[in-house]
Chain A
């Protein structure tokens, strides 16, 4: 192909596939918002697969009928859906998404007011059953950040977080 042919083909592809979608598909919600969230869902799918097939847990979504990801992290709110990890019918741990948990240094320090630097936030977090609010670092069973691109900000919780990089 010549440069002109490639240019023309690029214009065709963009106008055919991107020409109308952004304005019509979801009102005002910017298309940048879901960026990365589908990948987080993909990683979640791989995690539940491994939890069931390799670790032998029975998995149940409770507190809702849909899995909810969030645009920003926060504490555990038990009114929200989570996946229970059950063994012999008993819930032994819970999988939450986009949760902040208390850091090792905060938990080891003398009691003080919690500040922003006392949290780590991870996309997928498995914690002790029944955990509420900001779980302590020692309540965390597994934490993952699902990022498809290089992380340019500081990487927190590295000692227990597994980076799940793109496989596409």
Chain B
């Protein structure tokens, strides 16, 4: 059965609740990145779009292909490949987190999460765009 406006309101609540429970830091980013919509169906789809975008930005799944590309065109002076990509922390972050850098290779791979979320998103779009769901 197509999703009604009320169904979408419930799903928005569920999604925000899950983010609050599992990743409160991401919740803030998602809300900031989501365009406000009056129509809950559109808002739900926008929210899911923001979730996928934010998690794809920090998924280690992107790391390998990026390093491969860099190594295709950049070499060390001795001809060896570039060893990796990292984020250098600021002095205060070093003190806080007791680490000098964050190796991007250590980021969790969110590829499966993103794939499954995109399936759900496609389903929601299909259900909200069907004539009965309007």
Chain A residues at the B interface, C-beta cutoff of 8 Å: 1-3, 6-7, 9-11, 13-19, 21-22, 25-39, 41-42, 44-46, 48-49, 51-53, 59-62, 65-72, 83, 148-149, 166, 168
Contact = CB atoms under 8 A, between A and B. Distances in A.
A6 B87 contact: no
Nearest to B18: A14
A9 B120 contact: yes
B123 A6 contact: yes
Interface in B99-133: 99, 101-102, 104, 106-108, 110, 112-113, 116-117, 120, 123-124, 127
B43 interface: no
27 contacts: A3-B7, A6-B3, A13-B113, A14-B18, A18-B22, A26-B106, A27-B98, A29-B97, A29-B102, A34-B107, A36-B57, A38-B63, A38-B104, A39-B57, A41-B104, A45-B66, A49-B69, A49-B72, A59-B73, A59-B75, A61-B74, A62-B77, A65-B82, A66-B82, A66-B86, A70-B88, A71-B90
Given A32-B25, A42-B66, A68-B86, A48 B74 contact: yes
A27 B101 CA distance: 12
Contacts, number: 177
Contacts of A69: 85-88
A11 B76 CA distance: 46
Contact of B88 (A1, A22, A68, A148): A68
Chain B, interface size category, equals 35 or more
Given A10-B18, A49-B73, A66-B86, 16 more contacts: A3-B7, A3-B11, A21-B108, A28-B98, A33-B89, A33-B93, A41-B66, A41-B70, A42-B66, A45-B69, A49-B69, A51-B73, A67-B84, A67-B85, A68-B86, A71-B89
Contacts of B82: 61, 65-67
B53 interface: yes
Contacts of A52: 73
Q: What is the interface of chain B mostly: helix, strand, loop, or mixed?
A: helix
Interface in B42-98: 53-54, 56-59, 62-63, 66, 69-70, 72-77, 80, 82-90, 93, 96-98
Contacts of B99: 26-27, 29
Contacts of B123: 1, 6
Contacts of A2: 1
Nearest to B21: A14
Contacts of B104: 34, 37-38, 41
A65 B83 contact: yes
A33 B108 contact: no
A39 B87 CA distance: 12
